[in-house]
Structure 1
Amino acid sequence: MLGEHWLLEAVDLLVRVVEAAGIFIIFIGAMVAFVRFVFVGLRHRESRVFVPIRLTLGRFLTLGLEFQLASDILRTAVAPTLLDIAELAGVAAIRTALNFFLAREIKQERREIAELGQPRRTDPDRVAQEPAP
């Protein structure tokens, strides 16, 4: 039968792999956003061009934080103490709050992108270009 030592080693390895995946996802997202900023943001000095860049970065951050939370859960999966559980609860609360606010910002950014793509009825130039009913 497998001993507890082997199980602890296996879980420790899994925790490191999941943490590394979260770090990698956040890093890739930051690099993608930076490259897009350099190519798009520096050419166009309008604030609206940054909305899709922030949206992309927010998605990567949200996913990376989910992986980090998963690693914390794995870490406490084998024989947790009350202190381990309390720390997990605190970390989970903070990361959940971060994810909540990131998701809310992503939703707002999507709404702004949708509004930018549709003509506004209050814009007289666009209304004049629309065909009459």
Structure 2
Amino acid sequence: MHETVQFYVEWAALVIEVAGVLVMVIGPFFALWRYFFNQHEDGSTYRTFRHDLGKAILLGLEFLVAGDIIATVSTAPTMDNVLVLAVIVVIRTFLSLSLQVELEGKWPWQKKEIGN
């Protein structure tokens, strides 16, 4: 019974990680599509492209973190596995925060834009 549950949990983690990779591979194509075919009159086409591309990367990172957490929980909870997960989560969280600041111009907890 335990092996069956572990098999399905590992499979779910793999599916979520693959979904994250697909989001980061397919997302740029949608961003390019909007860039070329949804022209904006106010000249914000490039800004929209950057924003769409960043959102795809952020969403993909969120899927990858979720997959890593599930994969770590489903394996033997050794200190090495937990430390590797912690390092991965810290790096991906830093990347997510950096991308969000770059895209939105503010920290997630701020209401006003940085520099305005």
Give the alignment's TM-score, normalised by structure 2: 0.78
1:38 CA drift (Å): 4.1
CA distance in 1: counterparts of 2:57 and 2:16, whole angstroms? 15
The corresponding residue for 1:9 is: 7
CA distance in 2: counterparts of 1:8 and 1:59, whole angstroms? 32
Moved over 6 A (4+): none
Q: How does 1:1-133 map to 2 (within 5 A)?
A: 2=1, 4-39=2-37, 48-78=44-74, 79-108=76-105
Q: Look at both structures and tell me which one has the larger radius of gyration over its CA atoms.
A: 1
Identity among equivalent positions (%) equals 32
CA distance in 2: counterparts of 1:90 and 1:38, whole angstroms? 38
Q: Which runs of 5+ in 1 are unaligned?
A: 112-133
CA distance in 2: counterparts of 1:63 and 1:101, whole angstroms? 14
Letter in 2 for 1:24: L
1:7 CA drift (Å): 2.1
Q: Which runs of 5+ in 2 are unaligned?
A: 107-112
- Number of corresponding residues: 105
- Asked whether the 8 Å contact 2:35–2:48 carries over to 1, the reply is no
